Structure 1
Amino acid sequence: MNYDTFVDQVAQRTRTSSERAVELTRATLETLAERLTGGELLDLAAQLPKPLQLVLKPTPGLEAADRFGAAEFIARVGQRAGVDANAARDTVRAVFTTLREAISGGEFDDVIVQLPRDYRDMVEPVLAPGATLRRG
């Protein structure tokens, strides 16, 4: 999937402009980068368009993931994107759904395995074939 398509998909799923979708995607991927081990981060980045790879650059010499739960993930995305918790949760689902479509299923599974059980509310809708963003 190319960069413009990725951004357009996030924009449609979050019902925002492309410019805002770029900000929301960046906020989610920066937070995901903090949560994944360095090796997994590099594997994920390798399957994404160049502008998104730049967002996922691991910290040099830092292999360990920062361990935090889903509530903290949502809070960090919300803070970065300047949105409330509900909008941040919808953003994460939209970006995860788009990620799932953009990368190989095996790589997406490798990413999800690194996330604890409390992420299920954000991830399970994404795992269903043909997943779309839930509203409500």
Structure 2
Amino acid sequence: MTAVKHSSTLQENKKAAMAECPVTYVMDKIGGHWKPIILFHLLSGAKRYSELRRAIPAITEKMLIQHLKQLEADDIVRRVAQPVVPPYVTYSLTPAGEDLKEVLYAMAYWAFRDVKRKDITVPEIWTREP
């Protein structure tokens, strides 16, 4: 991952926006395509890397590793490595990550209602509301 130049104009603008808008702060922490999906899968409990990889087949290994590291650095996800051979690593939500449960369920509920309103065909798993 490329180092962030903290004195860049973009970084200064992000800092100013975060100071003025709490949504900007949230998007900085969990924004993007993959982070909310990873967090949604962790709502049901701790998962091994391979379980997350199977649950989100469209994500590349690089993206999954990168986002897990970012979520861990932001204290949203906890990584626990067991000192055994082969290595046994689990990922789970921290208390800050658990606090996002309502937000993630609200997003899922909105999606359920929106596809229903637009009469979009969705996979079988969508037949029940979150």
Q: TM-score, normalised on structure 1?
A: 0.35
> Would you tell me which structure has more helix in proportion to its own residues?
1
Task: Point out which structure has higher relative CO (alpha carbons under 8 A, 6+ apart).
Answer: 1
* TM-score normalised to structure 2 length: 0.36
